[in-house]
Structure 1
Amino acid sequence: MRPEGLETANAEMIAVARLAAIVESSDDAIIGKALDGTVTSWNASAERIFGYSAEEIIGRSVNLLVPDHRLDEGSKILDQIKQGQRVEHFETVRRRKDGTLVHISLSISPIKDETGQIIGASKIARDITKHQQAEDALRRSLKDLADIKFALDQSSIVAITDTEGTITYANDKFCEISKYSKSELIGQNHHIVNSGCHPKSFFQQMWAAISLGQVWQGEIQNRAKDGTFYWIDMTVVPFLGQNGKPYQYAAVCSEITVRKQVESELQELNEELESRIIERTAELAQINQTLQSEIGERQQIEEALQQSQQMLQLVINTFPQRVFWKDKNFRYLGCNTIFARDAGLESPEQIVGRDDFELAWKESAPLYRADDQFVIETNVPKVNYEESQVREDGTFFWLRTNKIPLHNDAKEVIGVFGSYEDISDRKQAEAMLQEQEQFLRSIYDNVEYVIFVLDVLDNGEFRYVGWNANAAKGSGLSSAEVAGKTPKEVFGSEAGEEITQALSQCLQVGTMVTDEKRLMFQEQEFWSIATLNPLHNSEGKIYRIVGTSFDISDRKRAEVLLQQQKEQLEHALKELQQMQMQLVQSEKMSGLGQLVAGVAHEINNPVNFIYGNLIHANEYTQDLLGLLRLYQQHHPNPHPTVQAEADAIDLEFLIDDLPKLLSSMKVGADRIQKIVASLRTFSRMDEAEMKEVNIHEGIDSTLMILQNRIKTKSDRLGIEVVRDYSNLPLVECYAGQLNQVFMNILSNAIDALEESSKDTSGLRQDLIESSELAEAEQNSQNSNTTKLKEPYYFPRIQIRTELVDQNHVSVHFIDNGIGIPEHVKQRLFDPFFTTKPIGKGTGMGLSISYQIIAEKHKGSLQCHSLPGQGTEFVLTIPTRQS
């Protein structure tokens, strides 16, 4: 059995050995040092990075690695270590053993002993020299790209379209020559500049080529916005996706309008020349036919040979490529016209006997001589290779050249035959397209908004191809990390499902889709405006979606805040209007109540005095009349003077009329008492608190006060009031406020009936002048139905009360007036809304009534009306407010 202490020691030795192996195998330099800067440990990577072996550096100061201008860094780092702080990813420069500088990233941690005391530091140094150099190179490349783009925009016409021909980019040169602005071009089909001068087959051939990913080059006539025409030499280069199919096309063009005009003039001259040659040839043919019989066989052969040579030269001269042939000594035996022109000569005959060292491209002659020598000596053609050429005017060109050996009848090489075509425009277009790609890549990686690309799979899934640097910065995920993943795998199920639905919508409609989206990512809320653009392949199928996204979270938060402030202001304004309305109405009703109560009090005292004295006056009158009858009974023959006075005052009439007079005075006093009681009931000045009241008394008191407006007048019929009261319990309410509601509703009903009566004013005048008026009013007052005797119109108000579900009472005010239009009814209870002329209404009555019923009594106030069919207000309140 092994001792326990020995096993522990072995375990510790194994752990130390494992740790040492890890340190030695690290690609980073791992250095230990004491607090005074003395190096205490040094791994193999430290030796590789700094050039010092462990034996050379351990025990020496770490400042040996620090350049003079960086010595102050050590004291600052040491202060942080002594405080127990870590230094992470600190980028700086250190000096190798050979004196060269190395860029490193430092991460430094304090080393503590068993008591927790800091005794040194552990330093991890990573060589980032290549990374730093790459960053510097990238910055220089971006500067170069910006300069190249500027040069491109200054010299060439550039446009980019999608696979459907829709323009997605146009530079200033394009706008200048087409007379369209960028906003007028972007998003339009390329047909916007179609001149109609080319047949459909011309464009079909072009699209067939570029759809297969081939570069197309040709000359096209376009039409500008002002209707003028211009010619361009255009090269179209497809941009290929990962599937090898084009997803957009870039066109680089140069204007050749002047050249085409010159060519057109030359063509006209050539046609005229050919016409003259044909005429001359016909004359010669006729002469030749006349002399043919006199020419011998040899002369015919020589002429045929000469014509054959001329025909061969003509064919060579009309060949679109440059053609030449040389002997074994590399001297020219002949060429076609356009080759001679490139060489700076006037005709092909001038080149015979010369070599390349005597022509405009003498600086390139050694290269040409080497190619010729290879073909002649090896008897092997050299075809389709690119080389440069400098013309007589110093212009630089790129050529695609073919050279093949010339043989005699014995199959011996006697020279070289060559041809080439000018591909300078294509090379320039390729360079421009490469620059454009770099330019677009720069934009893609440096714009301030998010750009992302997704592939559309055959099974309907969407998988990220990648996204730009701004997207990586916002999400914390690099383009490589999201490549090949679905939106749910990147953003989670909830946000991923939102994104997938938007992509599916874009896939379904097949066009650009823009939408606002709220997404939750990493437990944070984001708002963005995303635009999705589908890309179609040659078969019209969407294979990729390119999207852009702008973060509008700050704007949305501001909108929410503004909406909240708006709602608060609207609420405050509404409350202010209600308070203003209540104050005005309260003051008004308070004054009215005091006035009514005062008037009622002042009238009540003298009326009570009169009513009380009428009793005694009636008794005294009866006593006097009784005494007078006794006198008449016992003294039937009065004195002539008394008899004369009795006849003068019509004593018999007085005896009969005086009791009637006193009775009439009593009726008037009773009437005044009832009016006073109604005024006191309506004002309710002594009932400001909630209490149980009889609803019918409040309605009746209100009708009593409005009696003057209800009764018949000279210019209209009286309003019939039908009371249809149910047996109601006492209702707990604010009696004075409820009477105010009755007053507002009944006043509006009377106004409506008066408005309706205007339409029957002529009929009213006829009734006044006829005996039918009394009969009509009598019939109206005795009627218990809502039907009126035709053709007369009788204004009518019906008041019906009901007990609803034992806990609520309702009051219905129904008139047969002109009714209320729908647009007015919708605003009926709005503060200060009125349809009456200025001075006739404040617009507060119904609004205050609604508040009294809905807020003070927890009830409801509704209006039912149709134009021409009258109006019904339904008031419902609980019988108990507790």
Structure 2
Amino acid sequence: MFEDITERRQAESALQQAKEELENRVEKRTAQLTYAIEQLQSEIAYRVEAEAALRQSQERLQEIATREALLNRLANQIRSSLDLNIILQTAVQEIRDLLQIDRCIFVWYRPDSSAFSSEVGVVGDRGGFWEFVQEARNLAFPSLIGYKVPVTAVSLLTERAFDKQITRVDNARDLTDPLERRFFFSVGYTALLALPIHTQSGEIGVVSCAHVSCYRPWRDSEVELLQAVADQIAIAIDQAALYKQSRTAAAVAQAQAQQLEQTVRELKHAQAQLVQSEKMSSLGQLVAGVAHEINNPVNFIYGNISHVNQYTSDLLSVVRLYEKYYPHPAPEIESELEAIDIDFVKEDLPKTLSSLKIGADRIRQIVLTLRNFSRLDEADMKAVDIHEGIDSTLLLLQNRLGSQVGVKEKGQIVYPAIQVIKQYAKLPLVVCYAGQLNQVFMNIILNAIDALQEGSSCALVGREKSALRPSQTKQPTIWITTEVSNSNQVIIRIGDNGPGMTEEVRQRVFDPFFTTKPVGSGTGLGMSIGYQIVVEKHGGQLTCISAPGQGTEFVIQIPIQK
């Protein structure tokens, strides 16, 4: 029994020892678990704080990225377009989309207060006004484009803008200034964020972000963003102004260059005209001098031909009387009569005197034509007969109008006679510079003759052959018609059935120094000077109608009395 008690005590002692050991283990494990839970809770708290900081950082980065994207878009817009209206419209649209506001407007300060919209509910006064020029808005609200608000209606806002201060109103109901409250309510603003822009040229503008539906607390990040945008807009405005100035300067320089080019052309024209005028003046003086010198002996001959004719008639009458009463003259006289063939002399002498009279008449007519063509004594405008000038020109060119033989390379060429068809209307006397107008007729008809001869396709015949034969059957012809238009103008048409001109040649026919003739055959001044004579000196028109194979026609229109 004693052994049983001992064994039981040993068992209880072992049990107690095991219980204490178990309790120690549980306590130790509990402490470990408590520490692990505390560590886990600390880790969770740290991670929560980190996630919150990460979210804030991401939001900040997103705001920065959005801001940079907006600024980049504005910068790209500035680089791609220097149109100020496009830049401002893009800016206000981007700002509105980014800030999700009801309205974004750009306004300019205008020193002139002469005009503004009365729909804003304010009265204008001196000191200038603010003009709404660009906007992006919710379509549910009316547009404010074109509104003009006098500075007296927004004096505090104007002072802040002039002092480069930001206007930041979260709730319009908190405003204390009555003028500001009145302006806010007149345009329907409940919140406003406005940043001024001062350009290098002295202009003042404002980027205005407004809310209409409710109040809007503005964040500092939004103010920073708007400030950066305002800086970009200021740069854009200055660049647009510089671009406009450069464009203006370039336009002025181009205009000056064009004016200088025009002056050079006019000087060339004047020089060409002076040269041609001097040549024509010298030629006119020479023609007038020759005509005068020829006129004196011709008048002497013409005036004495009638007397010589009468004297000859008297002498022949005496000879006939001698023959009647002395039919048998002395042998010496009879021998002399046979030697001189008195019968032929009596028959031919009147014919010779008649031929002399015709020749003197012809010379007198040519002299009169030369004087009429040169008109050296009629430098001023004078009423003249246009037909007389045309006829004088044709008379002087008579040798060119007849059949001619020319030399070309290894043979001879026949230029057939040119037919001239005149269709004159009944014209009044025309007040004009007759000599200069005759010069125009001369140049046009000479060009027509040259064109007809060049395009006549005459036969080229070898020098060893004596016959000259034209190969063209169509006779070269020049038509000259005159008429009076309803606008009291005289119209002279000079046309030919020559080869005509290409459109390129026709457009340049009046250009100075332009010619299609071979080198040495033409100066290219005739038609240019003729154009100046008709258009500038007579206030008329000179046009050319031509096509290849259709001939050419020049139409001269001059007023009957300038």
Q: TM-score range by the shorter chain?
A: 0.5 to 0.7
Closer/same/farther in 2, CA of residues 632 and 731 from structure 1, 3 Å limit: same
Q: Which amino acid aligns with 2:415?
A: R
1:707 deviates by 1.6
1:556 deviates by 3.0
Q: Which amino acid aligns with 1:719?
A: I
Aligned to 2:217: none
1:374 deviates by 4.5
Give the whole-Å Cα distance in 1 for the aligned partners of 2:543 and 2:342.
64
Aligned to 1:161: none
Q: Is the counterpart of residue 815 in structure 1 residue 469 in structure 2?
A: no
1:837 deviates by 2.8
Contact kept in structure 2, 1:455 and 1:465, CA below 8 Å = no
Give the whole-Å Cα distance in 2 for the aligned partners of 1:447 and 1:847.
54
Contact kept in structure 1, 2:74 and 2:91, CA below 8 Å = no
Question: Of 662, 667, 676, which residue of structure 1 is paired with 2:358?
Answer: 667
1:651 deviates by 2.4
Deviations 1:205-262 (A, max 9, x none): xxxxxxxxxxxxxxxxxxxxxxxxxxxxxxxxxxxxxxxxxxxxxxxxxxxxxxxxxx
1:454 is paired with a residue whose SS is: helix
Closer/same/farther in 2, CA of residues 328 and 455 from structure 1, 3 Å limit: farther
Give the whole-Å Cα distance in 1 for the aligned partners of 2:297 and 2:362.
14
Q: Which amino acid aligns with 2:256?
A: Q
1:484 deviates by 3.6
1:588 deviates by 1.6
1:432 deviates by 7.7
Aligned to 1:557: 248
Closer/same/farther in 2, CA of residues 444 and 622 from structure 1, 3 Å limit: closer
Question: Of 523, 535, 545, which residue of structure 2 is paired with 1:854?
Answer: 535
Closer/same/farther in 2, CA of residues 473 and 682 from structure 1, 3 Å limit: closer
1:669 deviates by 0.9
Q: Is the counterpart of residue 452 in structure 1 residue 91 in structure 2?
A: yes
Q: Which amino acid aligns with 2:252?
A: L
Aligned to 2:458: 760
2:500 is paired with a residue whose SS is: coil
Question: Of 479, 484, 488, which residue of structure 2 is paired with 1:798?
Answer: 479
The TM-score normalised by the length of structure 1 is 0.40
Aligned to 1:584: 275
Aligned to 2:525: 844
Contact kept in structure 1, 2:95 and 2:104, CA below 8 Å = no
1:625 is paired with a residue whose SS is: helix
Question: Of 835, 844, 847, which residue of structure 1 is paired with 2:516?
Answer: 835
Question: Of 546, 553, 559, which residue of structure 2 is paired with 1:872?
Answer: 553
Closer/same/farther in 2, CA of residues 602 and 381 from structure 1, 3 Å limit: closer
Contact kept in structure 2, 1:463 and 1:483, CA below 8 Å = no
Deviations 1:660-686 (A, max 9, x none): 111111111111100000000011111
2:91 is paired with a residue whose SS is: strand
Superposed, 1:566-581 pairs within 5 Å as: 566-581=257-272
Closer/same/farther in 2, CA of residues 828 and 383 from structure 1, 3 Å limit: same
1:639 deviates by 3.0
Give the whole-Å Cα distance in 1 for the aligned partners of 2:101 and 2:252.
37
Q: Percent identity?
A: 45
> Which structure would you say has the larger RCO, counting Cα contacts within 8 Å and 6 or more residues apart?
2
1:433 deviates by 6.9
Give the whole-Å Cα distance in 1 for the aligned partners of 2:486 and 2:45.
106
Deviations 1:45-79 (A, max 9, x none): xxxxxxxxxxxxxxxxxxxxxxxxxxxxxxxxxxx
Give the whole-Å Cα distance in 1 for the aligned partners of 2:296 and 2:282.
21
Give the whole-Å Cα distance in 2 for the aligned partners of 1:859 and 1:330.
121
Give the whole-Å Cα distance in 1 for the aligned partners of 2:75 and 2:438.
75
Contact kept in structure 2, 1:731 and 1:879, CA below 8 Å = yes
Q: Is the counterpart of residue 373 in structure 1 residue 37 in structure 2?
A: yes
Q: Which amino acid aligns with 1:454?
A: Q
Give the whole-Å Cα distance in 1 for the aligned partners of 2:514 and 2:424.
32
Q: Is the counterpart of residue 740 in structure 1 residue 421 in structure 2?
A: no
Question: Of 612, 615, 625, which residue of structure 1 is paired with 2:306?
Answer: 615
Contact kept in structure 1, 2:499 and 2:550, CA below 8 Å = yes
Deviations 1:318-364 (A, max 9, x none): xxxxxxxxx97999xxxxxxxxxxxxxxxxxxxxxxxxxxxxxxxxx
Aligned to 1:637: 328
Aligned to 1:206: none
Aligned to 1:730: 429
Give the whole-Å Cα distance in 1 for the aligned partners of 2:466 and 2:419.
17
Closer/same/farther in 2, CA of residues 472 and 600 from structure 1, 3 Å limit: same
1:649 deviates by 2.6
Give the whole-Å Cα distance in 1 for the aligned partners of 2:510 and 2:34.
103
Deviations 1:109-156 (A, max 9, x none): xxxxxxxxxxxxxxxxxxxxxxxxxxxxxxxxxxxxxxxxxxxxxxxx
Q: Is the counterpart of residue 492 in structure 1 residue 146 in structure 2?
A: yes
Q: Which amino acid aligns with 2:93?
A: L
Give the whole-Å Cα distance in 1 for the aligned partners of 2:35 and 2:461.
122
Q: Is the counterpart of residue 689 in structure 1 residue 418 in structure 2?
A: no
Question: Of 408, 412, 417, which residue of structure 2 is paired with 1:718?
Answer: 417
The TM-score normalised by the length of structure 2 is 0.61
Q: Which amino acid aligns with 2:534?
A: I
Give the whole-Å Cα distance in 2 for the aligned partners of 1:695 and 1:874.
14
1:873 is paired with a residue whose SS is: strand
Give the whole-Å Cα distance in 2 for the aligned partners of 1:727 and 1:472.
72
Superposed, 1:313-352 pairs within 5 Å as: none
Give the whole-Å Cα distance in 1 for the aligned partners of 2:451 and 2:30.
122
Give the unaligned 5+ runs of structure 2: 1-27, 79-86, 111-128, 149-200, 204-228, 406-413
Give the unaligned 5+ runs of structure 1: 1-326, 332-368, 389-399, 401-423, 495-523, 527-545, 774-789
Closer/same/farther in 2, CA of residues 738 and 381 from structure 1, 3 Å limit: closer
Contact kept in structure 2, 1:454 and 1:464, CA below 8 Å = no
Question: Of 383, 388, 397, which residue of structure 2 is paired with 1:706?
Answer: 397
1:575 deviates by 3.1
Give the whole-Å Cα distance in 2 for the aligned partners of 1:793 and 1:670.
35
Give the whole-Å Cα distance in 1 for the aligned partners of 2:460 and 2:319.
57
Q: Which amino acid aligns with 1:581?
A: A
Contact kept in structure 1, 2:135 and 2:145, CA below 8 Å = no
Contact kept in structure 2, 1:864 and 1:871, CA below 8 Å = yes
Closer/same/farther in 2, CA of residues 697 and 764 from structure 1, 3 Å limit: farther
1:864 is paired with a residue whose SS is: strand
Contact kept in structure 1, 2:544 and 2:555, CA below 8 Å = yes
Q: Which amino acid aligns with 2:511?
A: D
Aligned to 1:503: none
Give the whole-Å Cα distance in 2 for the aligned partners of 1:613 and 1:862.
50
1:740 is paired with a residue whose SS is: helix
Q: CA-atom RMSD, angstroms? A: 4.7
1:797 deviates by 0.9
Closer/same/farther in 2, CA of residues 644 and 568 from structure 1, 3 Å limit: same
Give the whole-Å Cα distance in 2 for the aligned partners of 1:328 and 1:753.
131
Closer/same/farther in 2, CA of residues 877 and 382 from structure 1, 3 Å limit: same
Give the whole-Å Cα distance in 2 for the aligned partners of 1:452 and 1:474.
18
Would you tell me which structure has more helix in proportion to its own residues? 2
1:637 is paired with a residue whose SS is: coil
1:728 deviates by 1.4
Give the whole-Å Cα distance in 1 for the aligned partners of 2:377 and 2:253.
48
1:826 is paired with a residue whose SS is: helix
Aligned to 2:225: none
1:371 deviates by 9.0
Aligned to 2:345: 654
1:860 deviates by 1.4
Closer/same/farther in 2, CA of residues 488 and 854 from structure 1, 3 Å limit: farther
Contact kept in structure 2, 1:454 and 1:463, CA below 8 Å = no
Superposed, 1:363-512 pairs within 5 Å as: 372-374=36-38, 385=47, 449=78, 452=91, 454=93, 484=137, 489=143, 491-492=145-146
